[in-house]
């Protein structure tokens, strides 16, 4: 049996982050790494599972072939779904009924998740349940406040009266609670015409927050025990769509802020997370949100930060620790048989 761990990356087809991290793992650690693309399952014929272990539990991997899920030592649960399928995907060209297409998509994802949840014995980065839970904006805000991080004054509401009363107290921005796949719904300032439209305000709840003034933003990348922070300088409200006028440089967080972020990670049962913070005009750090599987490689392209190496080192170490623990347990079991 090889002592080199096997790492799986669960994501969507042609995910740059997945391919870059796999390449870095191979170059730095000579590690074995496979990519499992959840939106390619329909054309592979490689998903197999039985409750009584009558077959190997396998899932398709990028480039062809399949992997026995039990052989994976760590899984980076990066982008398991999140965008709608359409019949232009390979293998779905003949599916003309939208409901049939939805059945195929749902069955593929349910089967994929079921195989992983029942057969995978390695380390999750992070567990699907923890990832999904941490994506809830309300839970994020409550947990951030619980660990002592400053959060903006916030109202989540679809009540026009409550919204107008809140917005009258300070300059306010509005954000979606969940958004939609493939649709860039970004934060923007609340304008008078928005507040005047009861139907628009009451259609669905949204996040209304005090606008934190300032041009300095922090993107904090947490890979296990390692924290890599980038300072971004941008005059725009949402720097994500203004990278061409954004300056990026590495920086270090105050120890107390790092401690609180680690406590947030512990409470949310996350092994990895990408945080957005902002520095207000008085120099105080304000917590905005966390993405359990956020983008980070764009920072490497805009600075001298080595985030691909940091991520791959973390995944490799996690997989090695898990492989050692699993192998040790098997040795104990064999010795006592």
Which residues of the chain fall below pLDDT 70? Answer: 1-2, 82-96, 181-185, 327-337
CA dist 105 and 83 (Å) reads 11
- Total-model pTM: 0.91
pLDDT, position 336:
40
CATH domain 6-126 topology:
Rossmann fold (3.40.50)
CB 112 within 8 A of CB 250: no
CA dist 177 and 121 (Å) reads 33
pLDDT, position 88:
58
Four-way CATH pick for 213-314: 3.40.140.10, 3.20.20.100, 3.30.43.10, 3.30.470.20: 3.30.470.20
**What is the enclosing helix (H) or strand (E) of 190?**
none
Of 27, 47, 122, 33, nearest to 91 by C-alpha is 47
The residue extents of the domains of the chain are 6-126, 153-210, 213-314
CATH domain 153-210 topology:
Dna Ligase; domain 1 (3.30.1490)
Residues 280-335 have pLDDT tens digits of: 999 999 999 999 999 999 999 899 999 999 999 999 999 999 998 876 655 544 44
């Amino acid at each position: 049996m090889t002592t080199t761990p096997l790492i799986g990356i669960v994501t969507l087809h042609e995910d740059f982050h997945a391919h870059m991290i796999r390449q870095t793992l191979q170059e730095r650690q000579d590690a074995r790494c496979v990519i499992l693309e959840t939106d390619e399952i329909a054309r592979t014929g490689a998903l197999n599972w039985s409750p009584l272990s009558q077959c190997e539990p396998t899932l398709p991997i990028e480039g062809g072939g399949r992997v026995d899920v039990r052989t994976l030592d760590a899984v980076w649960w990066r982008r398991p779904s999140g965008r709608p399928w359409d019949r232009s995907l390979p293998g779905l060209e003949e599916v003309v009924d939208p409901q049939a297409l939805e059945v195929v998509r749902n069955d593929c994802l349910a089967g994929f998740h079921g195989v992983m949840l029942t057969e995978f014995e390695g380390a999750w980065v992070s567990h699907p349940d923890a990832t999904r839970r941490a994506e809830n904006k309300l839970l994020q805000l409550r947990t951030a406040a619980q660990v002592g991080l400053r959060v903006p004054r916030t109202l989540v509401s679809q009540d026009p009266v409550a919204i107008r009363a809140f917005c009258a107290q300070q300059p306010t921005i509005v954000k979606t609670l969940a958004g939609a796949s493939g649709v860039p719904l970004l934060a923007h300032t609340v304008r008078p015409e928005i507040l005047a439209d009861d139907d628009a305000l009451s259609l669905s709840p949204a996040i209304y927050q005090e606008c934190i003034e300032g041009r300095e933003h922090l993107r904090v990348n947490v890979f296990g025990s390692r924290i890599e922070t980038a300072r971004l300088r941008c005059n725009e409200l949402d720097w994500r769509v203004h990278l061409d006028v954004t300056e990026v440089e590495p920086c270090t967080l105050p120890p107390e802020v790092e401690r609180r972020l680690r406590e947030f990670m512990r409470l949310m049962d996350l092994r990895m997370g990408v945080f957005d913070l902002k520095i207000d005009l008085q120099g105080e750090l304000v917590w905005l949100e966390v993405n359990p599987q956020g983008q980070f490689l764009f920072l490497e392209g805009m600075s001298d930060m080595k985030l691909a190496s940091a991520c791959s080192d973390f995944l490799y170490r996690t997989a090695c620790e898990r492989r050692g623990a699993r192998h040790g347990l098997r040795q104990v079991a064999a010795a006592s048989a």
